[in-house]
A = this chain, B = another copy of it.
């Protein structure tokens, strides 16, 4: 009955060696005492950590010495603890959004890549309800072997993208919208039902997951 927060944790600092992706902490719903303990263990191990879906309230409840070591982005609600790798090399990954409201997801992807030292290019607010916005930039997008597409509501963009580019297309449905769009289930299902061959999907709002899939792809491309 006398458990400590430490008893509830089994961190996986060897994950990077195993699958090429570093341990990340999904903060949403974690108890404050668990987060504090996790950061203490990271500090003891001299490891860096990616913190995802961390609320401002969670950031603020941390001891000042812990909070000071976190690079926090409020839009994506990501925090980076410790010294991230330098972001270097040519950009192989285009991150595209259908609307400005999708930025909280696209930034999670961009920051996850950056945390692993991987650069990316952003193409924002190019949804196909105004088709010219995409056509204006498609040639630039096509130069990237990997395209991450973030789209909510009807999520028509991944289908159009899949028909225009020959590289890897990783689609992330977002929870943007109201009525039948609220929560992202419609966007998710629309992408799963895409008429474009070979477009793959992650969970709703899972910019982190799309970035990790991109890291796996870079690895088999021999880049990482």
Contact = CB atoms under 8 A, between A and B. Distances in A.
Interface of A: 1, 3, 7-10, 12, 15, 18-21, 24, 26, 28-31, 34, 38, 53, 75, 87, 97-101, 103-104, 107, 110-111, 114, 122, 124-131, 133, 145-146, 153-156, 159-160, 162-170, 175-181, 184-206, 208-217, 219-222
B103 A31 contact: yes
Q: How many copies, total?
A: 8
A132 to B, nearest CB: 8
Given A8-B100, A31-B75, A31-B103, A205 B221 contact: no
A60 to B, nearest CB: 18
Q: Which 9 A-B pairs have the closest CB atoms?
A: A198-B212, A179-B204, A156-B156, A181-B193, A145-B220, A10-B125, A200-B200, A129-B195, A197-B212
Contact of A217 (B99, B127, B220): B220
Contact of A193 (B160, B187, B215): B187
Nearest to A28: B178
Nearest to A193: B181
Contacts of A208: 197
Nearest to A1: B114
Given A153-B193, A193-B203, 6 more contacts: A19-B166, A21-B197, A127-B195, A128-B156, A154-B194, A181-B192
